[in-house]
Amino acid sequence: MYPHNGVDAVTSYKVFYCKEEKDSAICLDEATEMDTILTSSTQTTLRIQDLSPGTNYTFRVQAVYDNGTMSVVSNSCRCKTKDAPRPADFVLLQSQLIEKGPPDIYKLPLISGHLDVQGGLRHYRVGEIPPASDLKPEGFLIILGATDEFKNVMLNALANYVLGVEFSDPFKFKIATDEELAGQQSVIAYTFCPTILDYNLTVIATPKNEDSESIKSQIRMFVNEQDGPSSPTYSSCRHEFSFTLPCLEPDFMSRVERECVVLESAREEPRRLHGMIRVFNISYEKEVMVRWTHDNWRTSHDTFSAFCSHEGITDRFAFEFPISEDDASFVARYRVAGREYWDNNRGATYNVYSIRSETQ
């Protein structure tokens, strides 16, 4: 039976809500000033999508009776949504505990960059690159002429800052151990993406030597390569996909709800493949990665994906992995609430074929 208020049966509810203005404790008298959801049943729980993270909201409820009348609108209920996860929260899942605290010290997972810069520059990446539509501007910071000890302190402090680590957190990050960074002989670039900044940041650390022209040359070549290969030593190579982008299929969203994880899109950029994975939002804590290979699965590599955005009942995660003149294949994995889901292109895997042309 439907719930009653004495005489009339309740058939549904109207839920009114609005985002509170910053630094104001509003209390609305008119429900028409708020967004409205009319439920289709008498269930006393309702999930509202697309609320902004870390935001105060005001809610009110009104019962709808079977005779078409409605109850008085309830008093206001105020609550705050969860804060958006920081880059540090995702990176922590991939990091290695190297020193028990407090605070616990974790070594950042450094992904070797795809660039091959003459002169010995080494490039590492922390985090995954979002697709072009979501990319932030690129920022560069160069640490020149520093001693090993000072350089290490600066690098670790910058890493924690740009990843959003706070003083009260029970953990801190290190880019590498002091022993690994001691006696640096080449230029090293660390790219942080995503960050809490309005831009992605690449920190370039230089060695202690007097060959300033060589250092300038390495840095200049590295920065120029961010827009794609221009050196005549590169081979011209493009790739073709063996699959239609799932986001273009009419059943894409129903497939996400049914299979929980589906590749959304992919695109080629110089020496790397960018992609987006869509997952069904089962729980707040989740892990998304791609497994890829260049040798038909004789060996494989796992690359974690980075949270990009919340879209209704789904979340979007961005990934990137290097591609060369060889073919590549990849699949996606989604771990959540103690379960594991895979997208392997319905058993065919996602294949990327190399199309070679003459060397420039």
278 shares a domain with 154: no
17 shares a domain with 67: yes
323 shares a domain with 214: no
Residue 188 lies in a domain: yes
271 shares a domain with 174: no
Residue 134 is predicted with a pLDDT of 46
Residue 82 is predicted with a pLDDT of 75
139 shares a domain with 70: no
Q: How does strand 56-65 pair with strand 235-241?
A: unpaired
Residue 1 lies in a domain: no
Residue 345 is predicted with a pLDDT of 92
107 shares a domain with 43: no
Residue 234 is predicted with a pLDDT of 34
Tokens of 207: 């060695």
Residue 7 is predicted with a pLDDT of 58
List the CATH number of the domain containing 304. Answer: 2.60.40.2440
Beta bridge partners of 173: 106
Residue 27 is predicted with a pLDDT of 44
158 shares a domain with 205: yes
Number of structural domains found in the chain? 3
Tokens of 248: 């273009």
76 shares a domain with 25: yes
Residue 180 is predicted with a pLDDT of 64
Look up the domain containing 355 and give its range.
237-359
Residue 149 lies in a domain: yes
Residue 267 is predicted with a pLDDT of 81
Task: Please provide residue 75's backbone torsions phi and psi, each rounded to the nearest 5 degrees.
Answer: -65, 160
Residue 232 lies in a domain: no
CB atoms within 10 A of CB 76: 17
Residue 96 is predicted with a pLDDT of 82
Beta bridge partners of 235: 359
Residue 72 lies in a domain: yes
Residue 53 lies in a domain: yes
Domain endpoint, select from 207, 227, 247: 227
Residues 6+ apart with CB under 8 A from 30: none
Q: How does strand 122-126 pair with strand 138-143?
A: unpaired
286 shares a domain with 172: no
100 shares a domain with 74: no
Domain endpoint, select from 80, 104, 133: 80
Ordered per-residue pLDDT tens for the chain, 360 residues: 445 555 578 888 888 888 876 544 444 444 446 777 777 767 777 777 667 777 888 888 988 888 888 888 888 888 888 777 778 887 887 788 889 988 999 988 877 654 444 456 777 888 655 444 345 677 888 887 655 677 788 889 999 999 999 999 999 999 876 666 666 667 788 888 778 888 888 888 887 665 667 777 777 767 766 544 333 333 445 678 888 888 878 888 899 999 999 998 888 776 778 888 999 999 888 999 999 998 889 998 888 888 877 888 899 888 888 887 778 999 999 999 999 999 999 888 999 887 765 444
95 shares a domain with 72: no
Residue 177 lies in a domain: yes
Question: Taking the alpha carbons of 281, 284, 286, 290 in that order, is the dihedral positive or negative?
Answer: positive
Residue 277 lies in a domain: yes
- Match 């060397």 to its residue by tokens: 359
List the CATH number of the domain containing 52. Answer: 2.60.40.10
140 shares a domain with 157: yes
Task: Please provide residue 184's backbone torsions phi and psi, each rounded to the nearest 5 degrees.
Answer: -60, 130
Domain endpoint, select from 56, 80, 104: 80
Q: How does strand 104-107 pair with strand 171-174?
A: parallel
